[in-house]
Amino acid sequence: MSLAFASDFLAVLPAWVLAHAAALLVVTPLLSGPIALVLSRGRLAWGWSVGISIITFALALVLLAQVQAHGSIMYAFGNWAPPLGIAYNVDALNMLVLLIVAGMGALSLIYGLPSVQKEIAPKDQAPFFAAYMLCLAGLMGVAITGDAFNVFVFLEISSISTYILVAMGGGKDRRALTASFNYLILGTIGATFFVIGIGLVYMATGTLNMADIATQLHGRGDDRVVRAAFAFIIIGLGLKTAMFPLHTWLPGAYAYSPTVVGTFLASTATKVAFYAMVRFIFGVFSAGEPFDGALLELVLAPMAIAAMIICSVQALYQTDIRKLLAYSSVAQLGYMLLGLSIGTAAGLSAGLLHMFNHALMKGALFMAVGIFALTYGVRKVQDMAGLGKTMPITAAAFTVSGLSLIGMPLFAGFWGKYFLIMAALERGWWWAIVALLISSVLAIFYVGRMMEMMYLRPPPKGRRLKKTGMAEAPLLALIPLLIVALGNVWFFFDTSLPKGLADTAAQMLLGGGAP
């Protein structure tokens, strides 16, 4: 969004929208959840939730225009200035995440009606959409709040609603209940670690405002309480991020949850937790302190490399498509963590850019897989045989997103890997580049295996076709898929929005800027 366009866009909006957009971004979906619950008919609750999610995305665009036109903005609740009051802060860093969550939240809902009607019992559909809206509000809150304790509150709002959403897949696959329980246990452990860390930070600084904490900790040196707080927070967020080897909850949650839930979570949940980790490491604890440097080079970098290679190998041997994509997600999170662990503006920018592009890749891939399952009951890789002929549009969207995941030129995923390699070269991290290339080659094999089934194998004899020989998904599911898939092409040719925000965020954080 250009500066001139942003200014013109803001000029036509009501003053109250401009003044309160930051608060409305969270409050709107948060209050809409209970209303969706009251709307007992599933289609009516879906329509209400879609309308609210579109409004939420529009509010995110308003905030983007304000950030583009005026720089970082702060919204103080009740006009109580921080650190006494609770404030929402909007800058280039969380703007990236807000766009991901709001955009994919709306598109996933529009896409999801046919699958929800098939997978969720009619009496449970209104509660399903209510939980979805609460999850959306929680993720938005984590990304926008400037209060450390509120990060915990919103993490729990999103997590508790996610446990419910995953468990609702139990109607079609009982393994969803086990996956939800595992997610609940590990998520609770992560939340406990995180809130203990926040308590220690409060004990050390006497404040919960993240900008004020950063000021209080600046130049503090070696403080055991701060060290302990830092460790608890990073472990807690590591569990929420599915950072290797704390990722064991993720494959089951993605594979056995309802289709729309897997799509939404794969696009947003771990991205929000990764954002929180970046914010605390660089914005609150000011990376560069001795224990921060040790974390980046001696802990996070090896874990990132392990995730990139080990989880890519695990993906290679999966027979369930969604579980394959889930292990691939953990590997891709390794790329983001590698950018973070490089510890330079170039590395952090590359990691944030890959976070944005990965949301597009995985969003489209999970949407396509959901359409395959909805139409033909496809869940295994071998079941994909002949889909390139029977579902050419959906298969093409899957192919575009798969090539973006590999990092092929002409697709958005290329740029994240390219800038990661450049950042690693600046640090002389040849071993990281080798690991990145190995992981990319492995991605060629597991994505190529699915494409080979779609295009080079004949459809099974028992598969029923329409008279045309094709059976595409309903337009309601197909249009969001095509939008996200085309985003994987668009953001290769025009990286100005995500790359501009990522560069600004990296410079702000490593230039000493507080949240």
Are 34 and 137 spatial neighbours (Cβ–Cβ below 8 Å)? no
Give the pairing type, strands 73-76 and 87-90.
antiparallel
pLDDT, tens digit (0-9, with 9 covering 90-100), for 75-110: 888 778 777 788 898 888 999 999 999 999 999 999
Q: What separation in angstroms does the CA of 86 have from each of 26, 89, 146, 202, 212?
A: 14, 10, 7, 15, 12
What 3-state class would DSSP assign to 209?
strand
CB atoms near residue 110 (< 10 Å): 18
The series of mean pLDDT values per 10 residues for the chain, 515 residues long, is 58 75 91 86 88 94 88 83 83 92 94 87 88 94 91 93 89 84 91 93 88 80 81 91 86 88 91 92 70 73 92 92 92 92 90 94 93 87 88 92 93 92 91 92 93 88 51 81 94 92 90 47
User: In the prediction, which pLDDT does 217 show?
Assistant: 81
Q: Classify the C-alpha dihedral 73-78-79-84 as positive or negative.
A: negative
The pLDDT of residue 388:
87
202 contacts 208 by C-beta, under 8 angstroms: yes
Report which DSSP code applies to 430. H
| Residues 6 or more apart in contact with residue 208 via CB below 8 angstroms | 83, 147, 148, 149, 150, 198, 201, 202
- pLDDT for 513: 41
pLDDT tens figures, 21-79: 889 999 999 999 888 888 877 789 899 999 999 999 999 999 998 888 888 888 888 77
In angstroms, rounded to a whole number, what is the distance separating the alpha carbons of residues 264 and 135?
10
Residue 336's CB is within 10 A of a number of other CB atoms, namely: 29
Indicate the DSSP class of residue 13.
S
12: tokens are 């036509």
Q: Which amino acid is at 354?
A: H
- 205 vs 224: CA distance, rounded Å: 13
User: How many C-alpha atoms does 211 have within 13 Å on its Cβ side?
Assistant: 19
What residues contact residue 14 under an 8 Å CB cut-off, 6+ apart?
none
- Where are the strands (E) in 55-178, listed by range? 73-76, 87-90
CA–CA distance from 263 to each of 17, 310, 357 (Å)? 30, 23, 15
- DSSP, collapsed to helix, strand or coil, labels residue 342 as helix
Displacement of CA 293 from its chain's centroid (Å): 26
CA gyration radius for the chain? Answer: 22
- 3-class SS at 165? helix
Q: What is the DSSP letter of 171?
A: G
CA distance linking residue 426 with residue 491, whole number of Å: 25
Q: Is 20 strand, coil or helix?
A: helix
pTM here is 0.91
Sign of CA dihedral 169, 171, 172, 173: positive
Interatomic CA distance for residues 233 and 262, integer angstroms: 26
Output the pLDDT for position 219.
67
Strand ranges inside 354-486, DSSP E: none
